[in-house]
A = this chain, B = another copy of it.
Amino acid sequence: MLTDLQPSPTTGNAALLRVVESGPAGLVKARCPEFAGIRASVVRAGRDAVLVAQADPADYSFLVISGCLRTVRLMSDGRRQIGAFLFPGDFFGLEALNEHTFGMEAVGPAILRRYLRCSLEAYADRNMDFARRLRTMSAKRLRSEQARVLALGRMTASERIARFLLEMAHRTDASGPCIELPMSRADVADYLGLTTETVCRMLTQMQREAIIAINRSLIAIKDGDALAALAGE
């Protein structure tokens, strides 16, 4: 059963792993020519590498090139909230003020570009198209945060999981109905305001109802309509 869910050897993660040799928290920097006329450096991060710590001064913004990252906020007693999962093309820290309220960590091996925030600001001052792009991106981020407020405030565990699966299917440009979740169940739980156990239970329940099929980090959507119905709205 589920033999069609084996991870393909062409995922590319193996290659990334080879690049990062300094271990779990390893960071390697290199020069990168430019992007939209702005200087940037390339950052490579290994699994669980902390690229930005919570309350760090917001000197830099990041653009994800490959891999997956999470933004994290920790409470003093250890409770954790994940603000967002970042995929290639996503930005982090564009709309920061003086300091980052969320940290950023690599879920798995990842590559990003790092920009000086003040240079982005300066470029936005000179280039009104770029300024518009910044506003549009902020609007999208805000919209997704508002969707999460609704989800965390008013939705049940199964609704949150269903929405999450649909979101992931949409964002990880999955050609087929099969999603590979790069993050752990604990990450999913902290993203959705649940516990690891509840995430597992909801997933297995959906599997029992033949809505999805699960094989570790691979999830196949068997009945998209039923999943959308669970997600509500």
Q: Give A residues with C-beta under 8 Å from B.
A: 73, 75-77, 79-81, 83, 95-97, 101-102, 121, 124-125, 128, 131-132, 134-136, 138-143, 145-150, 152-154, 190, 192-193, 232-233
Option from B132, B136, B139, B152 in Cβ contact (under 8 Å) with A193 = B152
A141 contact set on B, CB distance < 8 A: 142
A134 contact set on B, CB distance < 8 A: 135
A76 contact set on B, CB distance < 8 A: 232-233
Least Cβ–Cβ distance between A100 and chain B, in angstroms: 10
With contacts A75-B154, A75-B232 taken as known, whether A97 is within 8 angstroms of B193 at the C-beta atoms is: no
Question: A138 and B142: CB pair below 8 A?
Answer: yes
Closest 7 CB pairs of A and B: A153-B193, A152-B152, A145-B145, A95-B139, A138-B138, A81-B150, A125-B128
Copies of this chain:
2
* CA of A209 to CA of B162, assembled, Å: 41
A125 contact set on B, CB distance < 8 A: 128, 131-132
Least Cβ–Cβ distance between A200 and chain B, in angstroms: 18
A102 contact set on B, CB distance < 8 A: 146
* CA of A134 to CA of B81, assembled, Å: 27
* CA of A156 to CA of B213, assembled, Å: 34
* CA of A146 to CA of B81, assembled, Å: 10
Assuming A76-B232, A125-B132, what are 20 further A-B pairs, CB within 8 angstroms? Answer: A75-B150, A75-B154, A75-B232, A76-B233, A81-B149, A95-B135, A95-B138, A96-B139, A101-B146, A121-B132, A124-B131, A125-B128, A131-B135, A138-B139, A138-B142, A142-B145, A145-B149, A152-B153, A153-B192, A153-B193
Least Cβ–Cβ distance between A199 and chain B, in angstroms: 13
Question: B233 and A75: CB pair below 8 A?
Answer: yes
A77 contact set on B, CB distance < 8 A: 232
Question: B138 and A135: CB pair below 8 A?
Answer: yes
